A and B are shown apart, each in its own frame.
Chain A
Amino acid sequence: MATKLSETETITPVAQPKKARQKSANITERWMLMPSVILLAIISFIPLFYMIYSSFMNYMINPDQPTFYHFHNWAVTFHDSAFWLSWGRTATYAISGLVLEFLLGTALALAIYRLPWGQNIVTTIWMLPLFVAPIVTGLLGRFLVNSTYGLYAWVLQLLGVHTEILGNTLTAMPALILMDMWEWTPLITIIVLAGLQAMPEEPLEAADVDGAHYWDKLRYVILPLIARPLLVAVLVRSMDILRYVDTIMITTEGGPADATKTIGYYLVQIAFQFQDFGRAAAVGLTMLVITILIGQLFVRAFTRGEQQ
């Protein structure tokens, strides 16, 4: 978290008296935080403890009366090669998705910023996919690449490519990554663009003769300005890319040949198709731990970056 630096940086003159007053005055803050904490505690602790409990129970013989199962669910989970393969595919999906979204989003923000006119209208149009529900994105993607009547499939056929994009092990995953990019790249763009537009003086294009200067500026001036919203965006996106499977559910359902079975979809199958709540809890807890680790990583990296 970025607290230390920002406090010392912004409130140095008044910091001392504030701290002195803190002990008693923290009461207000406590009361203001209380409702959120209670609500969040309900929705996080109850499920968490229940998941820990379930992960040691067997729901498969009689789901109504689960019996104690030792570490069986955990053992099955860690011995299942599909579990590890799903994590591998998740890494591909999440990392390539996020990196591409970041690069394309930033590049487009820089490009839009260079436009002499029409920045607003271009941004507005570019932002539109952001408002499409993921489930509609999936439906739309499926509609566009269907070889029988899809617009994109038709274009590809004109170019001589005759393949069923979502039915081919090589193309299904890239297609899903592209759907995710279509929807979420605009978020990165508007954040970066906001940073650029908020830049004081010295318009960026004046500097672009000097390439190094340009990148330095991006790195040391603009990036710190937008670091916080960017962190939120990337953190929330990486969380959601792991746990949301709306698009996969409506398009490939993990296929073909498991090519798009991410850990999120693997969990959907265990929880909803097999209704094996015990194993689902074990898988879910594993995912939670990994997500928390990733979150910590982002926050640490961010804090370090800001302190530089």
Chain B
Amino acid sequence: MNNTAVATKRHASLSLILVYIFVVLALIWAVVPLIWMILSSLKTQAGMFSMPPKFFFKPTFQTYHIMFSSTGHFGHYLLNSVLASVGSTLISLVLGTLGGWAIARGNFKREKDISFWVISTRMAPIPAVMLPLYLLFSKLGLIGTMVGLIFAYTTFNLPFALWIMMTFFKDIPPALEEAAMVDGCTKFRAFYRVTLPMAAPGLVATGILCLMFAWNDYAFASVFTSTASQTVPVAASLLVSQQGIQWGQAMSTGTVIMAPMVIAGLFVRKYLVRGLSMGAVK
């Protein structure tokens, strides 16, 4: 081995150590709050507030017990969250895929303007559009209903889904569709049979992100829901009351809000990563 090779190797292993340190630090920064949230949710109120913090303690599931007891209505809120976010995600994906493909393939004269207009509908500052949307929803009888909440979530998910699907479709060469059409397929069939399967990872990634935006929403849910249609993030915000914050409940609620998204995210992680790099993977 000559000197340069040794030096290079040493250099490489040194930089690898730095990489390890960096990654480990990053992971600590990412997970400590989450671990702390879960640990705190298992503590008694007094245990949560002890200073210095307690790292070892006898866990109690009291907060979870309260959450899912009959007075908590938490299961109900959870169901609302699922319905609203899944509903809006499905609508957004279906319409967004159709629309995204149409913009990508169609030869619209003002294509740039249309596509920018689409994404611009997601830009409106929420507090300012709350009044007109509330009046509109109120006229339609949608306030406090599940349909209303799904509609509200679609206002931010549809532009997102449409736009991101459009960028994916642009990366899939139309040549294959053309070929299918030569074989006698209709345009829609060609899209459905040929292009759509190719866009599957992108579709999953988009779906997960839409689901996440809806699941985590507070701004819309806090105004457009009532007791019967309340979602989990709104329930979490209610733990900040005039008589103090119920931290134990807040921590367990936070854990429960996070859990389904994490599980869903883990299952489709591969798709999420592949989907987000559609251009690179093709």
Direct A–B touching, Cβ under 8 Å: yes
B61 at the interface (CB under 8 A from A): no
B188 at the interface (CB under 8 A from A): yes
**A299 to B112 Cα, complex, angstroms:** 10
Q: Which of these, B31, B128, B135, B218, contacts A246 with CB under 8 Å?
A: B218
**A9 to B18 Cα, complex, angstroms:** 41
A136 touches B135 (CB 8 A): no
A288 touches B125 (CB 8 A): yes
B79 at the interface (CB under 8 A from A): no
Contacting residues, chain B, for A133 (C-beta < 8 A): 215-218, 232-233, 236, 254, 257-258
B251 touches A143 (CB 8 A): yes
B27 touches A125 (CB 8 A): yes
A163 at the interface (CB under 8 A from B): no
Q: For B19, B22, B124, B154, which residue has the most chain A Cβ atoms within 10 angstroms?
A: B124
Closest to A22 in B: B107
Contact with A along B1-35 (1 / 0, CB 8 A): 00000001001100110011011001101111110
Q: Helix, strand, loop or mixed for chain A's interface?
A: helix
Query: Which of A78-86, A92-100, A168-176, A224-232 makes up part of the contact surface?
Result: A224-232
Contact with B along A244-265 (1 / 0, CB 8 A): 1110001000000000000010
B277 touches A225 (CB 8 A): yes
**A10 to B279 Cα, complex, angstroms:** 12
On chain B, the number of residues with a Cβ less than 8 Å from chain A's Cβ atoms is 111
Q: Which of these, B40, B112, B136, contacts A3 with CB under 8 Å?
A: B112
A281 at the interface (CB under 8 A from B): yes
B215 touches A128 (CB 8 A): no
Contact with B along A35-66 (1 / 0, CB 8 A): 11101101110111011001000000000000
**A186 to B11 Cα, complex, angstroms:** 28
Q: For B106, B233, B274, which residue has the most chain A Cβ atoms within 10 angstroms?
A: B106
A239 at the interface (CB under 8 A from B): yes
**A226 to B111 Cα, complex, angstroms:** 22
**What's the least CB distance linking B119 to chain A, in Å?**
7
Contact with A along B226-246 (1 / 0, CB 8 A): 000000110011001000010
Q: Which of these, A123, A233, A246, contacts B273 with CB under 8 Å?
A: A123
Contacting residues, chain A, for B36 (C-beta < 8 A): 140, 143-144, 151
Contacting residues, chain B, for A264 (C-beta < 8 A): 125, 127
Given contacts A6-B170, A39-B95, A154 and B257 within 8 Å (CB-CB): no
A250 touches B128 (CB 8 A): no
A212 at the interface (CB under 8 A from B): no
Contacting residues, chain A, for B111 (C-beta < 8 A): 1, 3
**A299 to B266 Cα, complex, angstroms:** 31
A154 touches B52 (CB 8 A): yes
Q: Which of these, A6, A47, A225, contacts B124 with CB under 8 Å?
A: A47
Given contacts A11-B174, A228-B167, A280-B128, A194 and B123 within 8 Å (CB-CB): no
**What's the least CB distance linking A45 to chain B, in Å?**
9
**A134 to B136 Cα, complex, angstroms:** 27
A124 at the interface (CB under 8 A from B): yes
A193 touches B30 (CB 8 A): no
Contacting residues, chain B, for A296 (C-beta < 8 A): 116
Given contacts A33-B103, A124-B269, A288-B125, A130 and B95 within 8 Å (CB-CB): no
A243 at the interface (CB under 8 A from B): yes
List which A121-161 residues lie within 8 A (CB) of chain B. 122-136, 139-141, 143-144, 148-149, 151, 154
**A4 to B107 Cα, complex, angstroms:** 11
Contacting residues, chain B, for A14 (C-beta < 8 A): 174-175, 178
A1 touches B115 (CB 8 A): yes
Contacting residues, chain B, for A103 (C-beta < 8 A): none
A292 touches B258 (CB 8 A): no
Given contacts A30-B106, A33-B98, A149 and B53 within 8 Å (CB-CB): yes
A-B contact pairs, 8 of them (CB 8 A): A39-B158, A40-B121, A43-B154, A47-B136, A116-B16, A131-B261, A267-B125, A295-B120
Query: Which residues from chain A sit less than 8 Å from chain B, CB to CB?
Result: 1-3, 6, 10-11, 13-14, 18-19, 22, 25-26, 28-30, 32-33, 35-37, 39-40, 42-44, 46-48, 50-51, 54, 104, 107-108, 111-112, 114-116, 120, 122-136, 139-141, 143-144, 148-149, 151, 154, 182, 186, 190-191, 193-195, 197-199, 205, 208-209, 225-229, 231-233, 235-236, 239, 242-246, 250, 264, 267-268, 270-272, 277, 280-281, 283-285, 287-288, 291-292, 295-296, 299
For the A-B complex with A36-B95, A126-B26, A271-B128 known, give 15 more contacts whose Cβ atoms are closer than 8 Å: A6-B170, A14-B174, A29-B101, A47-B132, A54-B132, A122-B23, A136-B233, A143-B247, A143-B251, A149-B51, A182-B33, A198-B281, A208-B12, A239-B122, A281-B128
